[in-house]
Structure 1
């Protein structure tokens, strides 16, 4: 099913007669007084109203509109409003530091910045006036020096929708930034909507959204996943959408509207583990979806066990902001039944997306293709690769190799054509897979909710163990190591002590500073 336009997305699904009802965990920052329940005509009207306000702020065709705010689905609505004017929305997480925002805004040179007083105040506390970097600053929650309030712009009728060429920039998202300043990724209508979203809107048995579903999304809505997810799921017309912006306060909306499908950040799944009991809100889930980062066996096992459905599935997707989904694998209770394996099944990320993606593993020095079973850099060929990095075209161009995109991941191709992830190239540990070690340790040591293994030249790898209370069962730790390579004494931290991105990923370079392990890695970091 082809998704025609981001600017008219909500009008289009309303015109098709889709009657999905949206339930939010909290009101939108874009409309704080309009409650937590929306039908699609109300969403479409809010997008048109926001387009009128942006038009009043001086936004027009070809302009850039930066959005920085607290996580919520209205990132997508503001993006649609900007796209309706022919402008290009750039969605930036408020987890970025003011220094990072300053650099990214200078690269974007936006006509308008849509933000909040909290973001502007944080900038001022660091000596940075974000309003000075843009043409007009629109503040969602009131007046602020150097900014106009959204309320003062409401009431301006939007101009007719502007259709941009399919290969013109449509949306800018940033990468996670686990190893430094994020890249600004440019997608087009052809790549993001006609490619990624349209493929996901194709009805596939079992894994596609159904008309009877209550589909829950608890992701980072500034991320490149948010727009194609919204476009595809609405095209399929589920009965309800449950949108979760804050993992910590999700239980009321999940219990009020129990989902049948769930897509969440890996970090969110981890934080929701206390709700996986038999009387929890996941008892009716038939399908879980994970993207963004590695999922570890205990978490997957707990959620598959939390539902009363006879044969629930876990769809594990590997992809990147630049490419969308690349491989997928469906996991079952049976696949996860054996605990504490030395080589967990979750490291097998399945096969390339049929008909759209090809994959090969190459030598990182010569780029010659390697035989199955030999670790190397993973390259992909897909028609939906982003068209550039804002302000860093040379960096984008360097990731191409004779028509193949360099993912920067290290993996192994199996004899049957599946892909097994080992590590990000910058995080690799020679002779081992850090991600696999993290899988095993989480599976074997009770109380460990997250494990990060840091490799540093000249020393044994350091396991950083995250527990809820910052303590560790030493005997369980020792017992878990019987077939593992030599490891340094673990560093035990709480969840709050670990630096994270807006998608919940661990900022590994910053974590190295926290545990005093320096910045030296085995990897080159050339393709991050």
Structure 2
């Protein structure tokens, strides 16, 4: 496949050098300086980034990292996760990207499975206990107890690019961990670059990044999406790239106002936090032509507010379903008309569209027999995709248990409609027979604009589901609540929490299993959790 009039994207190692050689005009602007170069400011050209990656590959070599070695990266959220991935890949090492939001006990288990030769971190993360795992540690942004300072390893010769076979491990990312301990997902150059990044880097009508775009990303940069997005977006040579490290509106808004994005990809939780910005008269989102969301469910009012904020004639929202293991599986284009408020309960964003044509196969099966069910009947969603990862680091038995031939068990419950699209119900482990938690959450967000977050928890046999709510003002009018749920299935009295007390993963998903253990301890769930 030849993309954008040139060769297909390379693996992350030589990516920035290749872009510089091709004369990429892209300017990268950051919401705050990189943790690995805090003195260098917030504006970078592609040649400058190429030199930074080369320098960091020399630092890793000086730290005695060799081809095939695992290098754990565990630091504050920022795009230098992607740059450190490039530096490690450049010398043939395998970077493992670990979110700083991991609980200490989860981090300890994942580091034990990885057995990395080096842990790359920063002072903020190390102060939270990231160095207490007996792993040789490199601190990026200054001296830290028990760690090697970055400056101590600078100045060595820049190594040559290491060329690895396409099917060898390239990068390791962990799953979100909403249902328990995260899994370490192994992707190769074949799966992550040639297939997932390669198909996205193709110049598709409307949904691709263009050269005149200002493309913004505000995601969890420890996620594999940060690597595939960086490859495909930079390959398109847009005028400007914006990288937003912190979702707090006051921290993100200055960059977004100074350089209004035309394309925006963000976590669903970030979109929700930015809804007040979208409603401002001088909104930074006035020039949006394309919004992209993956990672988690996105609610109709959120889509509605961002499309309304754009002053373009026909802005669109692309919503996708995918997993760390598979990459994108389905997509659906939403417009102002498709998310317009209607007098109906069924939400507008549970239909996640059709499988990527010519790329993905989907099958909905009975969870007991694993035989396909009829259209319109619920079941567990299986996927077949050429972008499937290689397995789970240290848990190959768990990986094999999720495979049926070439079909991967996503652990999601869904329905294939008569038109072939997929309507998502819930994770199997979170299921309520005859109901959909995420559908109820959509309805609550539609009817109660004051909600910043709504989570419906299965409460076990004979007990109504428990709604856990966060409101923008910290209060809930019970009369409005009772009116909103008047025609819904019976729900327990709502539990009101603050935004910061809601447990979340590194990708902003609510940790439902933690909420269950806090507020429904000892109550048996309906789902089996066999495919988490």
Tell me what 1:229 maps to: 229
* Partner residue of 1:403 out of 382, 391, 406: 406
Tell me what 1:466 maps to: 470
* Partner residue of 1:256 out of 239, 255, 258: 258
- Segments of structure 2 that go 5 or more residues without pairing to the other structure are none
* Partner residue of 2:55 out of 45, 49, 53: 49
Q: What's the CA shift string for 1:267-298, capped at 9, x where partnerless?
A: 00010111012311000000000000000011
Does structure 2 retain, via aligned residues, the 8 Å contact 1:509–1:519? no
- Segments of structure 1 that go 5 or more residues without pairing to the other structure are none
* Partner residue of 1:88 out of 79, 84, 94: 94
Does structure 2 retain, via aligned residues, the 8 Å contact 1:273–1:299? yes
Tell me what 2:509 maps to: 505
DSSP 3-state at the match of 1:319: strand
* Partner residue of 2:328 out of 325, 332, 337: 325
Tell me what 1:183 maps to: 183
Tell me what 1:34 maps to: 40
Q: CA deviation at 1:516?
A: 4.2
Aligned equivalents of 1:517, 1:475: Cα separation in 2: 29
**Further displaced range: 494-503 or 280-289:** 494-503
Q: CA deviation at 1:13?
A: 1.2
Q: What's the CA shift string for 1:225-259, capped at 9, x where partnerless?
A: 00000000011111000100001110000000000
Aligned equivalents of 2:296, 2:508: Cα separation in 1: 9
Return the TM-score normalized by structure 1. 0.97
Matched, 1:412 2:415: yes
Distance of aligned partners of 1:164 and 1:335 in 2 relative to their CA distance in 1, 3 Å threshold? same
Matched, 1:65 2:71: yes
Return the TM-score normalized by structure 2. 0.96
Q: What's the CA shift string for 1:158-179, capped at 9, x where partnerless?
A: 2100011000000000000012
Aligned equivalents of 2:522, 2:174: Cα separation in 1: 26
Aligned equivalents of 1:113, 1:472: Cα separation in 2: 45
DSSP 3-state at the match of 1:478: helix
Q: CA deviation at 1:519?
A: 5.6
Does structure 1 retain, via aligned residues, the 8 Å contact 2:34–2:78? yes
Aligned equivalents of 1:50, 1:518: Cα separation in 2: 49
Q: CA deviation at 1:145?
A: 3.1
Q: What's the CA shift string for 1:78-120, capped at 9, x where partnerless?
A: 0100000100000000101222111111110111110123333
DSSP 3-state at the match of 1:96: coil
Q: CA deviation at 1:517?
A: 4.8
Aligned equivalents of 1:60, 1:340: Cα separation in 2: 61
User: How well do the aligned residues superpose, as a CA RMSD in angstroms?
Assistant: 1.2
Q: CA deviation at 1:137?
A: 1.1
Matched, 1:74 2:80: yes
Does structure 1 retain, via aligned residues, the 8 Å contact 2:30–2:42? yes
Matched, 1:279 2:278: no
Does structure 1 retain, via aligned residues, the 8 Å contact 2:76–2:124? no
Q: What's the CA shift string for 1:463-520, capped at 9, x where partnerless?
A: 1111123211212111112321111111111211100111110011111234345463
Aligned equivalents of 2:508, 2:523: Cα separation in 1: 21
Tell me what 1:390 maps to: 393
Aligned equivalents of 1:106, 1:351: Cα separation in 2: 39
**Number of aligned residues:** 522
* Partner residue of 1:377 out of 375, 380, 401: 380
Q: CA deviation at 1:206?
A: 0.6
